[in-house]
Structure 1
Amino acid sequence: MSEGVLLGERGRTLLRIFGAIVGLSALMSLPSLLYALANGEATAVAFLEAMLLSGAVGFVLWYPVRHARYELRLRDGFLIVSGVWVIAVLVAALPFMLAEPRLGLADAVFESASGLTTTGATVITGIEQLPRSVQLYRMVLHYFGGMGIVILAVAILPMLRIGGMQLFRAEATGPQKDSKLTPRIADTAKALWLVYTGLVVLCALAYWVGGMDFFDAACHAMATVATGGFSNYDASFGHFDSALLEAIAIVFMILGGLNFGLHWYAWRRATLGHYLADSEVRQFLRIVVAASLVVALSAWWGGRFEHGGEALRHSAFHVVSNLTTTGFGTTGFADWPGLAPLGLMVLSFIGGCAGSTTGGMKLARVQMIVRQGLRELKQLVHPKGQFLVKVGGKRVSESVVITVAGFCTLYVLVFVAIMLALTATGVDILTAFGATTATLNNLGPGLGEVATTFQAFDGLQLWLASFAMVAGRLEVFTLLVLLTPQFWRD
């Protein structure tokens, strides 16, 4: 078979996959459509229109090339994952334009990108006044985006034959993307989704027992385990003003911030000992405790809270929320005194553990890059010495260290580029820093004019922020590799 025929078959296969994913993305409107029909909300028409439109487009793309077959390569995985996320964001924006709050294109794309990437930033105020079907829709976006739309496709649509391992490697987060829980990649994706959904159900039940009504409990559970941060209220978790609910949220945000492979092993082997045996988990918990104490002392001494217990309660919540890049808030932190605001924003760069639903660079990478830096210091003192980078007592190969160093460098460069682009559009430096941190790290709340919402941003600024959210969710490499000339050379 000639190269031209192969390239044609490759293009037809990619088109078949994109068409199927467009159709799959249309189903994200289904829960809200059913809720609207059951409760007589006028938004049912908008959700039905969004489903039919995107479903029709997906069918038109898929049907003519439904028999195309081509063995995908890793580079195809990058292209498909990036394309799928762009498509899903555009499809998910339709209900925001057709139903209340009837957003413009840039605002709707920002809101859908924020939901699917589990960022939790918003351009909407008066959220509690929105129809409940729209409130539910925002949370459903978190649910699907938390584990990843592509992993969902690999889990439930193996008949697409879309090269599961290539997509899994491009979609999964963290430095160890080749590890599989089961021999078949589709079974791995299903296992992850089973654990993820189980945690959502447990979290919803805990919220319900803790005092939320069932609707709020279900919605906030999806946002918590997905480490998303959307809420049904403008005041976020501050609306409930409940130490019990905040404690429940802390527990499940931490669970969402841990490697889901550990949860799977805990379920299969009925054991919890492996959690503390994992060096990344231990370091994660140390950061939570240390940062909570430091932030609490800073806020208390600065006079933000009258009592030390109150300072620790709100500081611990915001530390876990920011470290896991969830973005829930109780009192907000942008106006806290001392190092608290900047310190909390910096935590989002670390993020949670590899293999979690969090954003940021991931703690495993931060551990490696810090230990690589310390090794270089030792090498300067002892030029002839042989020093190894170890994580969890095991040597990390030089290739992994180099890859992690390259990732961190590129991540910082992308951060600087987006921040400079925002300042070039007229955004002040504090707001540009806060907005870039909030979007690239998939955090949600920022500093300056974006401390609570992104309503102050215009169209171009929202498009930049939307790009940052998708780039952060795909961990930079997956999206930026498409911009290199080498990628498009066969």
Structure 2
Amino acid sequence: MHPAVILRILGMLLMVYSSTMLIPAMVALLYNDGGEKQFLSAFIITLVSGLLCWLPVQNQKQELRVRDGFVIVVLFWTVLGCFGAIPLMLGEHPGMSPTDAVFESISGLTTTGATVVANIDALPKSVLFYRQQLQWFGGMGIIVLAVAILPMLGVGGMQLYRAEAPGPIKDNKLTPRITETAKALWYIYVSLTIACGLAYWLCGMSAFDAIAHSFSTVAIGGFSTHNASIGYYDSAALEMITVVFMLLAGVNFGLHFLAWRRRRLDTYLTDPELRFYITVLLLISALVFIGLLITSEFSQFWVSLRHALFQTVSIATTTGYGIADFSTWHPMLATALLMGSFIGACAGSTGGGIKAIRVFLMFKQGLREMRRLIHPNAVMVIKLSNKAVPDRVIEAVWGFFGIYLISFCVLFLSMLATGLDFVTGFSAVAACMNNLGPGLGEVALHYGNISDTAKWILCFAMLLGRLEIFTLLVLFTPMFWRH
């Protein structure tokens, strides 16, 4: 462990992050909403804090170890979540309490999309933009950008990439050098954002709303500039554009890179995780669609299909947009949608949840165990794309799932201890741990009415989900701190 090197990198990253607060300050000046002071103050506080961390250890340049990478990733998310809350506490709007501000900031950075704001439409444009910007940087940007920049600052980045990259197989690189890998992912991310924003604008959104929603769509975040979310526009065309880009953002970005490099669309068709991901979304959409028809929730066939498709893709990819309050639907339908968020998007995407590849591997392992009951002496291998999956990977997937369930149960019981009812407590933990956002019961619309204790528990759940359990929990093991 190299505390001086960790402090140096944290200081540099804080200084880089401070510059992003100048963007909403310019938005405040553009729309004359009076928010420039709070963002400029936050910029100065963050910059000075980063400088104070960096100056005493600026010459420390030892090589990073794997344990250093874990500490930096966790520290960066927690520290950045706290510094990201500063603009939300300063000024009259929104003038949040420290707890609410940290909750909103961490929710944005982890792309959860859970909010404590009851009336989003009343927020100044600068604050609205800042919330969307938090999600965009959190979705793919912060760590990947840091990995791309760190080598230029004389610090290796492979340890950071291994600690943060999602999915059960973390050592696969798209390009030979980690810097080039980070840049490749970043270019894809920016390109999708621009395409999404242009599509929104061409279909009727204002330029401000198009940019803001492109940030949270590609980040699979779910923050919106309106209380009614995408439902505010009541446009089938906008909803279908949102569905397309939520689907694209939920795909492994490594797969996007390979398809672009090979100039072949069949790269997508041959990927087993993507096929499983699409199959799950189609099955849940069909279930919800049939349920909406049976319960007569909507009077028209096509309206039911539209709502079923949009809400399924939004919830199952852990985006969290809405065109209707799904919590008021039949309990079976609302629960089915929430359960979809446990599977989540693909590994290597900006989505949350357990990840489709892990669920797919657990399903294949379950089938293998049933076959072994019939043929106990047979040698059976689990394959993906005709390649055998090492047993070590299968063990890691089951280990992840076991720790996930234990963590969920502990957090759920903790939420019940704060006085919440069963439905609210269960859905709040599910929505935050899966980085989804909207829940059921008291947290269907916003999280402003729950206790501060519950909000801090959910902040931990959001970080746990975004860092995929092990990255955060490993810091709480005595073995990690032994020399």
Is TM more than 0.5 here? Answer: yes
In the TM superposition, what is the alpha-carbon distance from 1:197 to its structure 2 partner?
0.6
**Partners in 2 of 1:196 and 1:324 — Cα distance?**
17
1:111 to 101, 104, 111: 104
In the TM superposition, what is the alpha-carbon distance from 1:15 to its structure 2 partner?
1.0
In the TM superposition, what is the alpha-carbon distance from 1:325 to its structure 2 partner?
0.3
Alignment of 1:405 with 2:398, yes or no, is yes
Alignment of 1:451 with 2:425, yes or no, is no
Q: Secondary structure at the match of 1:85?
A: helix
- Contact (CA 8 Å) 2:24, 2:129: kept in 1 or not? yes
1:169 to 153, 157, 162: 162
Which residue identity does 1:64 align to in structure 2? Answer: P
1:12-411 equivalent positions in 2, closer than 5 A: 12-99=4-91, 100-411=93-404
**Partners in 1 of 2:38 and 2:358 — Cα distance?**
43
Q: Secondary structure at the match of 1:339?
A: helix
Which residue identity does 2:237 align to in structure 1? Answer: L
- Contact (CA 8 Å) 2:418, 2:451: kept in 1 or not? no
- Contact (CA 8 Å) 1:148, 1:171: kept in 2 or not? no
Deviations 1:250-309 (A, max 9, x none): 000000000111212233332212011111111111122221111011122012111221
**Partners in 2 of 1:91 and 1:404 — Cα distance?**
34
In the TM superposition, what is the alpha-carbon distance from 1:25 to its structure 2 partner?
2.2
> What TM-score do you get using the length of structure 1 for normalisation?
0.97
Q: How many residues in Structure 1 have an aligned counterpart in Structure 2?
A: 482
**Partners in 1 of 2:262 and 2:380 — Cα distance?**
36
- Contact (CA 8 Å) 2:150, 2:156: kept in 1 or not? no
Which residue identity does 1:253 align to in structure 2? Answer: M
In the TM superposition, what is the alpha-carbon distance from 1:394 to its structure 2 partner?
2.0
Which residue identity does 2:7 align to in structure 1? Answer: L
**Partners in 2 of 1:156 and 1:30 — Cα distance?**
20
CA spacing shift, 1:243–1:157, aligned 2, 3 Å: same
In the TM superposition, what is the alpha-carbon distance from 1:75 to its structure 2 partner?
1.3
In the TM superposition, what is the alpha-carbon distance from 1:387 to its structure 2 partner?
1.4
CA spacing shift, 1:430–1:452, aligned 2, 3 Å: same
In the TM superposition, what is the alpha-carbon distance from 1:196 to its structure 2 partner?
0.2
2:435 alignment partner in structure 1? 442
Which residue identity does 2:23 align to in structure 1? Answer: P
Q: Secondary structure at the match of 1:445?
A: coil
**Partners in 1 of 2:301 and 2:149 — Cα distance?**
49
Which residue identity does 1:49 align to in structure 2? Answer: S
In the TM superposition, what is the alpha-carbon distance from 1:338 to its structure 2 partner?
5.0
In the TM superposition, what is the alpha-carbon distance from 1:245 to its structure 2 partner?
0.3
5+ residue gaps, structure 2? none
1:470 alignment partner in structure 2? 463
Q: Secondary structure at the match of 2:328?
A: coil
In the TM superposition, what is the alpha-carbon distance from 1:40 to its structure 2 partner?
2.6
- Contact (CA 8 Å) 1:359, 1:441: kept in 2 or not? yes
**Partners in 1 of 2:178 and 2:10 — Cα distance?**
20
- Contact (CA 8 Å) 1:354, 1:362: kept in 2 or not? yes
**Partners in 1 of 2:65 and 2:125 — Cα distance?**
43
Deviations 1:315-352 (A, max 9, x none): 10011011110000001211111521110000001011
- Contact (CA 8 Å) 2:109, 2:137: kept in 1 or not? yes
**Partners in 1 of 2:410 and 2:156 — Cα distance?**
33
**Partners in 2 of 1:479 and 1:30 — Cα distance?**
30
- Contact (CA 8 Å) 1:224, 1:252: kept in 2 or not? yes
In the TM superposition, what is the alpha-carbon distance from 1:35 to its structure 2 partner?
1.3
- Contact (CA 8 Å) 2:217, 2:245: kept in 1 or not? yes
> What TM-score do you get using the length of structure 2 for normalisation?
0.98
In the TM superposition, what is the alpha-carbon distance from 1:148 to its structure 2 partner?
4.3
Q: Secondary structure at the match of 1:195?
A: helix
Give % identity: 48
Which residue identity does 1:59 align to in structure 2? Answer: L
Q: Secondary structure at the match of 2:62?
A: coil
Alignment of 1:479 with 2:479, yes or no, is no
- Contact (CA 8 Å) 1:296, 1:308: kept in 2 or not? no
5+ residue gaps, structure 1? 1-6
Deviations 1:393-449 (A, max 9, x none): 321100000001100111111111100100011111110011001000000000111
- Contact (CA 8 Å) 1:302, 1:338: kept in 2 or not? no
